[in-house]
Amino acid sequence: MHIEWLISDLFASLGFILALFLLAHLLKQRRSPVSTMAWLLAILLMPYVGVPLYLMLGGRKMRWMAGKKERVYAPPHDRPGPGRDGVIERVLLSYGVPPATRGNEVELVSTGEDAYRKIIDLINSAQHTIHITTYILGRDPVGAAIVDRLAARAAAGVEVRLLLDAVGSWRMNRRWLEPLTAAGGRVAYFMPLIRLPFRGRANLRNHRKTVVIDGRSALVGGMNLAQDYLGPDPDPDRWRDLVVQVSGPVVRDLDDIFRSDWRFATKEYLTPMARADAPCETDGLRTAQTVASGPDVVGDPFYESLVSALFAARQRIWVVTPYFIPDETLVRGLDLAARRGVDVRL
């Protein structure tokens, strides 16, 4: 009993020392107040749960691994001048984000049935390349139908590349993807699970969801390629989400992001689309700009543009989000907008 007591006391002391070390490490990091407070409470109030979770998930987006990934945007050579149309675009340009382009067709797709039909139509229309990134590929009738369509286009000579997140699509196996790979399609996984939990960190996931066809048309948004998000028939239990279908010069920037992610996952370099091959800008239609976020983007241009938009708004701010955990700056921006008469709806 005495030895068991000594061992128990030793582990308790080591746990206390480890918790202190983690708390010091946590306070030194540049986290949002909400994130810092959440981890502090977890480590202090539930150390047997909080400490292991922080070791697995608490790293700042896995800096070492993320540092190996090429940056999506090159540093800008010059600060944008006042000639640009909007404050937000000037903020984004200062981070190296490609400028907004004119002559794009943009359509909001608000139902899973419409999104499914558009994805199938886009895949069927592909002549040269199909580049798809998704967090979840469902092991269900929707996932199977999409894989079969991709296989058919690969068999017809189209270059098909499918990039899956290793955590989101962990149920996928060779049997489900065999129709595609047998037809010549390529499948890769972002951050394979074999790296977890200590060679890497589980929180470096790829949540980008894009379908890019021939570098000219794309579907981008929040819907995963699974029955819970989209399908041929209405489903009252389906997640309510949004995607945007775009065509025009802005699609080239979406394709560049895919190529960067594909190179990180496979070490295969895909030659970027030449400007001459991309759709040309034209007057009219829509002006659009692609903004990536994540550890492969220097700074946080999406956040900074969002803050700029809140403080620059003059008429309305309408927000729809499943996750509302704002920091003090975002709350202040919404509050001040409402006080100056802006129509703020959350």
Confidence of residue 4 (pLDDT cuts 50, 70, 90): low
- Quote the pLDDT of residue 74: 78
Place of tokens 């691994």: 65
Helix/strand/coil for 212: strand
- Cα separation, 62 vs 57, in Å, equals 9
Segment 199-215, tens digit of pLDDT: 444 456 788 999 999 99
Segment 272-313, tens digit of pLDDT: 876 556 677 766 689 999 999 887 888 889 999 999 999 999
Q: Which residue has the higher pLDDT, 282 or 194?
A: 282
Q: How far is CA 30 from CA 59, 64, 89, 330, 336, in A?
A: 11, 16, 26, 17, 25
Q: Which residue has the higher pLDDT, 128 or 20?
A: 128
Q: φ and ψ at 343, to 5 degrees? A: -80, 100
Q: φ and ψ at 165, to 5 degrees? A: -80, 135
Q: Which residue has the higher pLDDT, 180 or 26?
A: 180
Segment 313-343, tens digit of pLDDT: 999 999 998 888 888 999 999 999 999 999 9
Q: How far is CA 340 from CA 88, 212, 305, in A?
A: 20, 41, 20
pTM, 2 dp: 0.79
